[in-house]
């Protein structure tokens, strides 16, 4: 392994980040003790990209909450949000929205801009599956909101 130049060793990580004019990734992350639902309560909700899952690769497996993976359910995967939380996902391109329940963990943390993985059915309500990724905003719904399995999407297309 090649040794680092002396000026990098003297700066340290924070000094190097400041010298290169980069903002550290951890500056945008919530504090360790911060309520994860507070991010969803911001005006306009949490914005980022949504992807989809449930195309047959995991149909016999269970989600992190213990439920079986169901591509036809209104479910989603999201980090740091408690299981069972209802969220409203709105496409920022079309304005269409869908209500889903958080039942799994994801998307992988290495994809920084992806904030939610939707089930195949929920994604199809917002955009064609071939898109793969769409810009969305995610808002938390109150506990008294109707269940996604009983209430149709606000923009159901036959």
Q: What's the CATH code of the domain at 38?
A: 2.40.40.10
Q: What is the largest CA-CA distance in the chain?
A: 65
pLDDT attached to residue 67: 81
Please tell me the total count of domains within the chain: 1
Residue 81 lies in a domain: yes
Q: What pLDDT, on a 0 to 100 scale, did the predictor assign at position 26?
A: 38
Structure confidence at residue 149 (pLDDT)? 52
pLDDT reported for residue 71:
79
- In contact, 85 and 152? CB cutoff 8 Å: no
pTM of the prediction?
0.67
Domain assignment present for 2: no
Cα–Cα distance list, 129 to 32, 117, 124, 157 (Å): 35, 13, 6, 14
Question: Is 131 part of a structural domain of the chain?
Answer: yes
Please report whether residue 155 resides in a domain: no
Question: Considering the domain boundaries, does residue 153 fall inside one?
Answer: no
d(CA 39, CA 68): 28
* Domain assignment present for 130: yes
CB 98 within 8 A of CB 125: yes
E runs forming strands in 105-147: 114-119, 134-140
Query: The tokens of 6 are what?
Result: 């002396």
Tell me the C-alpha to C-alpha distance, in Å, between residue 28 and each of 2, 22, 84: 32, 12, 26
Peptide bond just before 75 cis, omega within 30 deg: no
> Which domain does 122 fall in, by range?
34-140
pLDDT at residue 125, rounded to an integer: 95
Q: Evaluate whether residue 10 is within a structural domain.
A: no
Predicted local confidence at residue 70, as pLDDT: 80
Extract the residue ranges of the chain whose pLDDT is less than 50.
8, 11, 13-14, 16-19, 21-33, 150-158
Residue 21 resides in a domain: no
């Amino acid at each position: 392994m090649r040794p680092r130049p002396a000026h990098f060793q003297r700066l340290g990580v924070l000094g190097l980040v400041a010298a290169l004019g980069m903002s550290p990734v951890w500056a945008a992350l919530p504090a360790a003790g911060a309520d994860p639902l507070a991010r969803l309560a911001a005006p306009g909700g949490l914005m980022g990209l949504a992807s989809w899952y449930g195309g047959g690769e995991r149909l016999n497996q269970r989600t992190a909450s213990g439920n079986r993976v169901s591509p036809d359910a209104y479910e989603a995967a999201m980090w740091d949000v408690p299981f069972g939380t209802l969220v409203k996902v709105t496409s920022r391109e079309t304005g269409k929205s869908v209500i889903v329940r958080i039942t799994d963990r994801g998307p992988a943390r290495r994809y920084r801009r992806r904030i939610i993985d939707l089930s195949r059915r929920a994604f199809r309500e917002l955009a064609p599956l071939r898109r793969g990724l769409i810009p969305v905003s995610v808002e938390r719904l109150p506990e008294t909101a109707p269940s996604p399995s009983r209430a149709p999407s606000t923009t159901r297309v036959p």
